[in-house]
Amino acid sequence: MIYELRIYDIIPNRRGALYDRFKAGALRLLAKHGFKLVNMWEPTDGQEKLFYILEWEDETARARGWNSFRSDPEWQELKSTTEAAGPMVTKMEHFFLRDLQLLPKD
């Protein structure tokens, strides 16, 4: 199992539009393409950032998921429509994480 931490730097005043895009179809499309979303977070100090973690079986499953998602015509249309007023993110970072299995299991 691997985890992917994604961090988006959001353009000021575009946070609501980005969240709306997730609710309007991006979350459903991610699930359609095999993404397992662990959770999503925003900073408590008002920074324009979004954090979320995806869980993948392995690197192959991740590559397959992202490739199919990005080529999905429904995603391309949603992205195009929701970015008609301009982009929502200035920078995206991602990190691959593995569970060190140091914590006891319940």
Region 3-18 average pLDDT: 96
Within 57-96, residue ranges assigned H as helices are 59-71, 73-82
Residue 18's pLDDT band, with cuts at 50, 70 and 90, is very high
Cα–Cα distance between 63 and 72 in angstroms, integer?
14
User: Is residue 87 within 8 Å of residue 41, measured between CB atoms?
Assistant: no
Count, residues in the chain: 106
Report the mean per-residue pLDDT for the chain: 95
Write the pLDDT tens digit of every residue in 21-58: 999 999 999 999 999 999 999 999 989 999 999 999 99
